[in-house]
Chains A and B, each alone.
Chain A
Amino acid sequence: MKNENLYNYILGIADNSLILGQRLGELCGHGPNLETDIAMTNINLDLIGQARSYYQYAGKLTGQDKSEDDIAFLRLEREYRNVLLVEQPNTHFGYVMVRQFLFDMFHFMLMEKLQHSKDETLVAIANKGIKEVSYHKRFSSDWIKRLGDGTAESNAKIQEAINDLWRFTDEFFQLTEADKAMVEVGIGVDVSKLKEDYYKKVSEVLEEATLQTPENKYFTKGGKEGLHTEHMGYILAELQYMQRTFPNMTW
């Protein structure tokens, strides 16, 4: 493949949307009330829509006429490039919201920068995506505040989720080989430069929500290199079920 680095760079962004969408898809119809169910399905729809745009673009780069579905459904676990955070389970609504919030804050910053990429297609996707992600960020930040500054029980539950999921945040700012190559040619975003601002903004929201920012300095990584947590195989088993059971069919 001529543009292998660009291809891998795109998957690094797209797979986050796909896998987070897949996790949110498990929740549809099971939310704490109808309003949150509707809102989170909206977010899910945005994420799947974004993933489709990225995969369609990536498909063209392969030179083998691969479809969005070939890329989304027919890779091996080690070939998915999403960060570990997005594959973490829906333990309870607090985990769902913290996962969303920690991701949205990063996702928004990434989209902001991607709007200035030298790649026109990525710019177009980012221009559309940032409007959606800006809503996601507002929705999840609002919930962090509600749950943090709600009841003692909700505060404890959300703090537990933050403490647990915090270790997955540093991975956002790691650069893969593909990332580095794309940063060099002005297409990719140098995510390592977003780190300081990210933690500052996240802490501001947590503080307003009367929550503690964890002091934990030990982080986990691997997703971007295709080394996932034990949850990933099960996610893919569901995601890929139809495509693997009935190969080469039109749906």
Chain B
Amino acid sequence: MSEKEIKNLEAIFEARIARDEKIEPKDWMPEKYRQTHIRQISQHAHSEVVGMLPEGNWITRAPSLRRKAALLAKVQDEAGHGLYLYSACETLGISRDELYEQLHSGKAKYSSIFNYPTVTWADMGAIGWLVDGAAIINQVPLCNTSFGPYARAMVRVCKEESFHQRQGYEIMLTLCKGTPEQKAMAQDALNRWWWPSLMMLGPTDAASVHTEQSMKWKLKRKTNDELRQQFIDQTVPQADLLGLTIPDPDLKFNEKTGHYDFGAIDWDEFWQVVKGHGPCNKERMNARVSAWENGAWVRDAAMAYAEKQENKKVAKAS
């Protein structure tokens, strides 16, 4: 294809996005669009799958059968999200095995929040309330993103995430209405998860390398700082309702702006965790790699069996 033809295709492509048309897998797309989407969708899929680990950590110790069932169902939803996000990603011409390979080699990233440990039951509440809450803020705009398979997957993901968030808040509410020990457990969880949740919305706009291009392709509709402010404004009244204190002495409602002002985020900690030196980065990666390696003989057997069955069918037919 000549350079002029490519330029022409690019112009048509950008015009379609500007008209809010969906781009489908078989449509022509610039290579950079394809690569950016592979990166973002797979990062999202990896986050779902790695995210199963910190919550999976409490399944055997859930304090009641009702909570055990709800937690199981939640972690199962995350596996489901992983599955359809990987499928959406595969439509861009990359296989699930290649995507796993990128995760296991450290080439692909996942959300850093899952590198923090879940040390008490209240963390199941805090994750649902704060982590899923921040995720929803990130993800709702993606239901209208330009790439069709991703947008459609996100509609379902967001519905389930919103259910998880309510469930998490309800765990916190139960703890806060409970004994002083339970309330202290809830406060401790909020203290530990608050700042990492704010970091989840990404580096400040000044430090974000992908924002500009992503805004153009509608992979992003608001900047990281705008989303963070939205999250804080929405979450502070919820903490008040629980009777919990947000661990930020500088947090204060600003009458002039109509938003909460908040203290400085420790970006050194953020980059430390992103670069692989958070409290659980090694454990999370080891768990994923071992699950994959220990499962190799099972996947091989399934393939071999399917092949044998296929051969039998062919033999019968001939």
Contact = CB atoms under 8 A, between A and B. Distances in A.
Contact of A150 (B75, B121, B304): B304
B9 interface: no
B251 interface: no
A150 B178 CA distance: 53
B65 interface: yes
Contacts of B73: 41, 45
Contacts of B296: 32
A250 B305 contact: no
B298 interface: yes
A92 B67 CA distance: 27
Contacts of B298: 32-33, 36, 93, 147, 154
Interface size class of B (residues with CB under 8 A): 35 or more
A246 B63 contact: yes
A149 interface: yes
A203 B199 CA distance: 56
Interface stretch (B11-19, B77-85, B190-198): B77-85
A248 to B, nearest CB: 9
Given A146-B305, A239-B61, A44 B72 contact: yes
B297 A242 contact: no
Contacts of B53: 29
Interface stretch (A47-55, A192-200, A223-231): A47-55
A189 B87 CA distance: 46
A51 B66 CA distance: 11
Interface in A10-58: 22, 25-26, 28-38, 41-42, 44-45, 48-49, 51-52, 55
Contacts of B292: 32
A58 to B, nearest CB: 13
Contacts of A246: 63, 179, 181-182
Nearest to A67: B64
B240 interface: no
A193 to B, nearest CB: 32
Given A34-B79, A35-B83, 9 more contacts: A30-B56, A33-B295, A41-B75, A45-B69, A45-B72, A45-B73, A150-B303, A239-B60, A249-B178
Interface of B: 49, 52-53, 56, 59-69, 72-73, 75-76, 79-80, 82-83, 86, 121, 171, 174-175, 177-179, 181-182, 287, 290-292, 294-306, 308
